[in-house]
Amino acid sequence: MRLIRPEDWRPRGINDLEPAAWNALRHAGSACVVAGPGAGKTEFLAQRADYLLETGLCRAPHRVLAISFKTDAANNLASRVRQRCPPEFANRFVSVTFDAFTKSLVDRFLNAIPADWRPTRPYEISFPKRKAIEGFLTLARLSAPPEWQAEIAGYSASDFEPKIVGSYRLPMGPIAPQNAAEFAIARWWATQLRPGQPSALTFVGINRLEELLLRANPHIRRALVATYPFVFVDEFQDTTYAQYDFLLSAFFGGQTVITGVGDDKQRIMVFAGARQDAFQRLQADFGGARFPLLFNFRSSPDLVAIQHVVARALDPNTVPTVAQTARQVDGDVAQVWSSQTKAAEATHLAQWIANDMATRAWPAS
């Protein structure tokens, strides 16, 4: 198993990395690698894994842990590492989803979870529907002390579990509610642990139990840190409150280097409990240095220009990205229009279509 000196290592399977990617790849500490669509975020993680393993920065028996949010993303990243990295190194790259990883730890160490929160073995996986959550919140409100009922009435079925339950750290013993949120959370957990019946856990609940497991058993946390000195988190902007808290309990204050990769201008998973400040938390809690990737390997120059207009609307300080693909179509292929009202937009669009048809001399229908 021959190691390569870090200064001699070169990318595998591609010609080169952009300068910002080189800086992020060689960075010794935690990092926020921020990039838009088409920037090669998955490829960057595959190259960094190869770099860490082949240079011996991650020596056997240590492993690199990569956490994704979807199974196909985890499998895709694992496949790329196998293509770029010799088998004896690639075998120490672990690519899993967040939920699969936390569930595997809960299943393995279930008996070490504090007794008041310990689920049955086996337990069921629960996917409560919106109507069921609405019914639960109604019953919780009606059974709550009068002074807490108004607050519970304001809880939304869509974000009650991901935001309110997901952001609450379980105590070592049962909850003694001191406010409306704790009252509703205690009742929610009662529906999952169900005395006398098999437990029915959601994945938010599993993430919270795993975080409690690590706090209650420091030796398990030490074993986790010793196994994984490097952790990647793909699509970091989708990290939920419960998932980020798990990362914090597992790796904060240790020697583990966290690399969070994603697009900080995406907000599509906020409805599912994604933190809006995930990258800021990584920078503050783990000292993550920020590395914006500036190349776009997927989109044409015209689309890259449009993406920059949208990005600047979200963040005026956004740095322009550089298209790496050639323009293959002549003329105007894309435009950005801004309208104050729907009516103005409709008028402009209709006039543009009429002018375009006249220019092209389309026959009247």
Annotated binding site for ATP: 35-42
Q: Which residues pair with 290 in a beta bridge?
A: 32
For residue 93, what is the enclosing H or E element?
Answer: strand 93-97
Question: Which contacts (CB < 8 Å, 24+ apart) does range 40-45 have?
Answer: 40/293, 40/295, 40/297, 41/234, 41/261, 41/262, 41/263, 41/293, 42/73, 42/76, 42/77, 42/80, 42/234, 43/14, 43/80, 44/17, 44/261, 44/293, 45/77, 45/232, 45/234, 45/259, 45/261
For residue 81, what is the enclosing H or E element?
Answer: helix 71-84
Residues listed for the chain: 365
Tokens in use for 291?
């590395």
Q: Alpha-carbon distance 191 to 187, whole Å? A: 7
From residue 79, alpha-carbon distances to 28, 87, 118, 228, 273 in Å are 25, 12, 36, 20, 29
Whole-number CA gyration radius for the chain: 25
As annotated, the binding site includes 35-42
From residue 226, alpha-carbon distances to 32, 96, 285 in Å are 22, 18, 20
Q: Tell me if 334 sits within 8 A of 303, measured CB to CB.
A: yes
Q: At what angle do helices 98-108 and 203-216 cross, to 10 degrees?
A: 50
Share of the chain residues as helix, strand and coil, in percent rounded to the nearest 5: 50, 10, 40
